[in-house]
Amino acid sequence: MEKNKASQDSLKILNRRSFIITTIGLILSLIVSIRLFSLQILNFNFYQKKSVENKVAVKATPPLRGDIFDNEKNLVAANASFYEFVIYKNLNKNYMDEVSNLNKLINLDLKISNIAEKLNSFNAYTPFILSRANWQQIVEFEKNKFLFTSIKIIESKKRYYPHKNLSQIIGYMGKSSDGEYLYPKGVFHLEKTYDELLQGKPGKIFNEVNSRGKVIREISIEEPIKGNSLDLTINLKLQNYAQSVLPLSNKGSIVVLNRFDGSILSMNSNPTYDAQVFEDRENDPEKPLLNRAFTGFYPPGSVFKPIPALLGLKKNMINEKTEVFCSGSTSLADRNYYCWKKGGHGKVNLKKAIKESCDCYFYELAKKINIDDLSELATNLGLNNTYKIGLSNAQKGLIPNKKWKKSNLEQGWYQGETLITSIGQGYNLTSPLQLASLYSALLNGGRFPSPKLVKNEPSKYLGEELNSNHQKAILNALKAAVQEPSGTAYKLNLDNPNFVKIGGKTGTSQVVRIKEEDREDDLYKTKEIEERFKDHSVFVGYAPIDEPKYIASVIIENGGSGSAVAAPIAHKVLNFAYQENV
């Protein structure tokens, strides 16, 4: 009986232990099953991706940047192939011997010690760039290819700029300063402004690799996507011609506008630089990076005179017949103000004042003018404006008023300063592009298209309508300045009688003020003046004269008389644009 009981107790204990063990086993099996379910079902995609990554290496390939064209689809910026000598450390343990042999064979002028130091910590399976390779070097290498196992030639892409004369418009490429973008990006002018449009998307190369990262085979290639192209308003023929007529002896610039839609057909600046071989020359005293047509600011000189003339007509201060006697000077308070013509112009009306560029006429008019009104009208006509055309460092220039002088110089405005401002001197600062826009406003009756460099961008209109009779009076005078005897630019017709007929206005922008005693010196004009103190030569003209389409604005720094230097250049450029129908 007792034996039976003992046997039953042992059985109960055994059953209890079996139950516990079974329960634990079931729990463990459940945990394992849940984990397997999680790994194989719930997180299948995640771990599959991890598994692929463990054996597949993805290498990015540079994006192909979009092309840039002129207005006739001539290529002005593109992608070009170039070649480089590279070394793979994993292909030969004596790789430095090969570097030395290559250097001797092709004379690459490699710094062997520097290369050795860098290669010590460089990935064995990643190509290390030794040098660029030109065609002659490639041919020599191919002849002796059997000597090298770790050195190869690979093809890469770079930006190609075939036309130096467009460098100050297109700009150039560089590395991202913040390191966020892996590949070169636009860092100046149009390349920078339209970087996102031109950029493109990188491609990918999928390689199978072993545990040490060595490439076993290429699995697939995802080609890079090329960026969008950019069509410019620039005409390459005109751009090249305009650059050829800029004097190499002087800094200067030319802008040619289509007055109907604001298209910039040519924008030249001298000196220029070559974006293809660009090196940082910010400290060069010649300032080749400065686009003088866009960010070069100068007193406009007499090309400014139509603005006070329009203001005088608008305010009924003058009419076309109002006459002033020019004796060669006028006075205000205790100061004399001189005309450029020492003997004076005699009786002068509006047409003659612009035609012969009489300063005294505008001095007398300026005695009645409020500088704030003059500044406002000049701004409405295109000056004192920042034109965002895609170039870097856009600036406003200056047409002064009372508020500006008080804020910047902490002084009040004097009426004598209005006299100087009215002939385009004093505090006035304008760019060649702004002056071209001013004459676009005059030709278009006040409402004018904002200048643009990108062809498919819609034209934006600025300014306010002018009185048509006032506009006609100004254009009649500008025509006379070139087409009638005694006009300041009349000589253009004698020098090139077969050229297209133009209208326009000469200007001479003073760099330094002429002293009183110098004006009394008959020999002053024949004296040698230090180059940097000579006047700037200015001219703005348009063609053809009866139905104007083209406007040319020219400034030659320290060039002297506008009629002698800038005007003939503008005439040549306008004639070329007209004859070529750009």
- pLDDT tens for the 582 residues of the chain, in order: 555 555 666 666 666 767 777 778 778 777 877 777 766 666 666 656 555 555 777 777 778 899 999 999 999 999 888 888 988 888 888 899 989 999 888 888 888 888 888 888 888 777 888 888 888 999 999 888 888 988 888 877 788 898 988 999 999 888 765 555 667 888 889 999 999 999 988 888 787 776 666 667 778 888 888 999 999 999 999 999 999 999 988 899 999 999 999 999 999 999 877 776 553 334 444 455 778 999 999 999 999 999 999 999 999 999 999 999 999 999 998 899 999 999 999 999 999 999 999 999 999 999 999 999 999 999 999 999 999 999 999 999 999 999 999 999 999 999 999 999 999 999 999 999 999 999 999 999 999 999 999 999 999 999 999 999 999 999 999 999 999 999 999 999 899 999 999 999 999 987 655 444 444 444 444 444 566 668 899 999 999 999 999 999 999 998 888 889 999 999 999 999 999 999
Q: Which is nearest to 571 in space by CA: 542, 537, 546?
A: 542
pLDDT confidence of residue 272: 78
Same domain, 141 and 254: no
Same domain, 115 and 172: yes
| Phi (first) and psi of residue 331, to 5 degrees | -135, 155
Cα–Cα dist 208/292, whole Å = 54
Cα–Cα dist 150/101, whole Å = 12
Total count of domains within the chain: 2
Residue 561 lies in a domain: yes
Residue 41 lies in a domain: no
Question: Residue 74 has which token pair?
Answer: 């001539």
| Phi (first) and psi of residue 485, to 5 degrees | -55, 145
Give the helix/strand (H/E) hosting 191: helix 189-193
Cα–Cα dist 160/183, whole Å = 16
Residue 4 lies in a domain: no
CATH code at position 403:
3.40.710.10
List the domain range (segments joined by +) for residue 492: 236-274+288-580
Write the DSSP assignment of 188-217 as a string of letters: SHHHHHTHHHH--B-EEEEEEE-TT--EEE
Same domain, 505 and 550: yes
Residue 539 lies in a domain: yes
- Matching residue, tokens 């390459």: 236
Residue 378 lies in a domain: yes
Is there a contact between 488 and 541 (Cβ–Cβ < 8 Å)?
no
Cα–Cα dist 188/393, whole Å = 9
Same domain, 194 and 255: no
Q: Coil, strand, or helix at residue 216? A: strand
Same domain, 341 and 227: no
Is there a contact between 374 and 421 (Cβ–Cβ < 8 Å)?
yes
Same domain, 205 and 252: no
- Matching residue, tokens 């007529």: 245
**CB burial string 499-521: b at 16+ within 10 A, e below:** bbbbbbbbbbbbeeeeeeeeeee
Same domain, 570 and 539: yes
Question: Residue 241 has which token pair?
Answer: 């011609």
Could you report the per-residue pLDDT of 222-280, keeping only the tens digit for each? 888 899 999 999 999 999 999 999 998 889 999 999 999 999 999 999 987 777 655 33
CATH code at position 159:
3.90.1310.10
Same domain, 456 and 345: yes
For residue 544, cis peptide bond before it (omega within 30 degrees of 0): yes
